[in-house]
Chain A
Amino acid sequence: MSKTNMTRRGVLKTGAVAGAGVALPTIFTASSAAAYTNEPTGGSVTLGFNVPQTGPYADEGMDELRAQELAVEHLNGGGDGGMMNTFSSKALKGNGILGKKVEFVTGDTQTKSDAARASAKSMIEKDGAIMINGGSSSGVAIAVQGLCQDAGVIFMAGLTHSNDTTGKDKKANGFRHFFNGYMSGAALAPVLASAYGKDRNAYHLTADYTWGWTQQESIAAATEAMGWNTVNNVLTPLASTDFSSYIAPVLNSGADVLVLNHYGGNMVNSLTNAIQFGLRDKVVNGKNFEIVVPLYSELMAAGAGENVQGVIGSMNWNWQLQDEGSKAFVKSFGEKYGRPPSNSAHTCYVQTMLYADACERAGTFNPCGVAEALEGFEFDGMGNGPTLYRADDHQCFKDVLVMKGKDNPSNEYDTLEILEVTPRAQVEYAPDHPMFAGGDLGSCNAG
């Protein structure tokens, strides 16, 4: 009769160790088999495009996805090459990245941090994505940026405007091409002072989350520096749909300007409500009452319809720009999709191109090599004039657009007009600026 040494405790211990081994995410074990996370071994490389495909920002996400697909087409030598023809760096050859054909997978952020992290994680672990790009929310961007830092892949942020993304929440593996709240304030304040005067009382309605807080802080600081007085700042729940009870007291507050620190559906509804209350028809303190929307997007403007007419705001980029890069991108995008691209589409396209270019210049997909190539990179021909990817915080510095709702739009895309192209020098700030304090870039993680 044979006797084994197997005991109940032994089985449990073995099971626990084996279970932990199986459960351990491949994200933490991949480094033992490769030099860095998802090192490409075959003839192709996979990029992960993480955009809202469902939920309230699904239309914006679809536009980002269109631009990302266009970028992949151009990287692989298809189409007319778009901005590759105008990009100041000539490292990209139209033969993929480092000779490998570019493929992509997509994830749905749903504009929810947990869903965005889950989809990014899935693309990294299951699909082998070497880079994550896209998104339409600062909360999502900050969450995914943290995940990419831990996973050892590069994160090229999409539409994220909170100061925190490259401020207190900045990461060594994360890069933002889009502008931020501080830049909006710096660009808008002189235009607002010129258009509406320096003796103004502003009432802020602010979405109650990271983006709203930092934008309000930035706009209030910039306009106060111009002589405006901030009468009140009311935080509104993100889930609000009817803003009438927040708008009704505005006229009685002594304010003659309403600043709507809202984005997406919040902005469409709050602006519509403000127009319904006839605020722009009123005269307060002897001045015409004005409304300001610091962050515009084409889709929001379309959603608000005629309510945006005459309302001033800011944007990262607009299809009406007449520089060679913008014209090339609008032509490629317009001919392929029959519509002009949005500014979120532009930033996602440019980020994909910048990542590919950095890989080529670095000669590797290793995220630490790519990050080094992006840090301090000066470039032009991508639609925003001469641009710097600052090494200190991985924020792009470039011109900012001040926009105004068009009075007589000729078609559904013609909702906004460019009021001013604010030069880059006017929106720059020191890396240790108090509005961006508290974070640590840390060191690059290759997985």
Chain B
Amino acid sequence: MDAIILQILNGLDKGSAYALIALGLTLIFGTLGVVNFAHGALFMIGAFCAVTLSKLLNLSFETIDPTQTDFLGNPLKVKTPYVIEWFGMDTGSAIIDWAVPLAILFSIPIMICVGFIMERGLIKHFYKREHADQILVTFGLAIVLQEVIKYFYGANPIPTPAPDVFKGSFDFGTMLGFDPNVIIYPYWRLVYFFFSAVVIGGVFAFLQFTTFGMVVRAGMADRETVGLLGINIDKRFTIMFGVAAAVAGLAGVMYAPINSPNYHMGMDFLVLSFVVVVVGGMGSLPGAVLAGFLLGILESFASMNEIKSLIPGIDQIIIYVVAIIILLTRPRGLMGRKGVMEE
């Protein structure tokens, strides 16, 4: 029982990342009809927003400490962040420590701008092209973006820790009556799960309860009719591209403390997120979220020693096996709609 609870918890944070990325993918596909293979790169850029803010907050001036030497035997240059100089040790250190949460505010305008430039500058030229063309151009764009990041930040992962208050784990098992250390869960992963739930809830509320969202939903259902009513649906869809980019970026920002960001992290999530979208049903936002959590949890279960001893290698293929089974039994995915991506 404890192992099952443990793997469900593990699946929740993994599923949170899948769900957030798949939600953005589905938003773009549902509104603009574009299969955006650069979406993983947006997730990666979000994580690097956290890295960038952390580096900005650590911008330092150098003073020479004659009592210490560097690796060449020269007097050591000691770096002091400007933030600490300006705000004092306690406040300055606290600001640096909270770089990742602060990066949420930092990343939203950046990601919306990146999304806007991406859509207006490149992707809009491929709206009326085949899906294969869209996949090729967005995949190429993803590679360009990751190489740009690698050029500026290098190939090595960059540690971007969570605030000290969220370090370590809490003993979830003792709350449920289990022995100590049986079910432990890191604080930050719990934060990530709740953060994802808030973002997902926010996107749904925005689409459901605002006039803008209502128009977007109407456009997703029947673009031509909405256009005939004199509404500039293209403009709204462009804004939705920015929103989807921001969602992916936020997912990346908050993921930075879980695994040190590197230029390739978007690609690591991209294929899995596409499987999530397909399993959830093309164009279905609730389907993307449901499939994200479902596949995240199943992936965690497949990593259990008991399961791996029965079916070696199952942890590497479980998502694809489930995708095959679901597509065979429900060709439109879990919550797919008739007519989406069907000729």
A contact set with B: CB distance below 8 Å = 54-60, 232, 234, 237, 239, 241-242, 244-246, 248-249, 251-252, 265, 268-269, 272-273, 276-278, 281-282, 284, 299, 302-307, 319-320, 330-331, 334-335, 340, 410-411, 413
Contacts and interface: CB of A to CB of B under 8 A. Distances in A.
B227 interface: no
Contacts of A335: 72
Closest 4 CB pairs of A and B: A305-B159, A245-B303, A58-B155, A278-B169
Contacts of B300: 244-245
Contacts, number: 128
Interface centre among B2, B157, B158, B169 (most CB of A within 10 A): B157
B307 to A, nearest CB: 10
A316 B167 CA distance: 32
Contacts of A282: 181, 184
Majority-rule SS of B interface residues: mixed
Contacts of B189: 244, 276
Contact of A56 (B3, B257, B264): B264
A219 B331 CA distance: 49
Contacts of B167: 276
Nearest to B162: A276
B262 A248 contact: no
A317 B304 CA distance: 37
B252 to A, nearest CB: 13
Contacts of B7: 245, 248
Interface residues of B, number: 49
A304 B156 CA distance: 10
B186 A272 contact: no
Interface centre among B13, B156, B181, B186 (most CB of A within 10 A): B156
Contact of A234 (B14, B155, B268, B305): B305
Nearest to B316: A237
A211 B157 CA distance: 21
A58 B305 CA distance: 33
Contacts of B158: 303
Interface centre among A239, A303, A334 (most CB of B within 10 A): A303
A242 B6 contact: no
A92 to B, nearest CB: 24
Contacts of B3: 249, 252
B71 interface: yes
Nearest to B17: A242
B259 interface: yes
Contact of B186 (A57, A277, A303, A413): A277
B15 to A, nearest CB: 11
B159 A303 contact: yes
A303 B14 contact: no
B107 to A, nearest CB: 21
B11 to A, nearest CB: 8
B68 interface: yes
Contacts of A299: 156
Contact of A305 (B68, B76, B168, B260): B260
Contacts of A57: 155
Nearest to B9: A248
B260 A241 contact: no
A320 to B, nearest CB: 8
A252 B178 CA distance: 11
A56 B168 contact: no
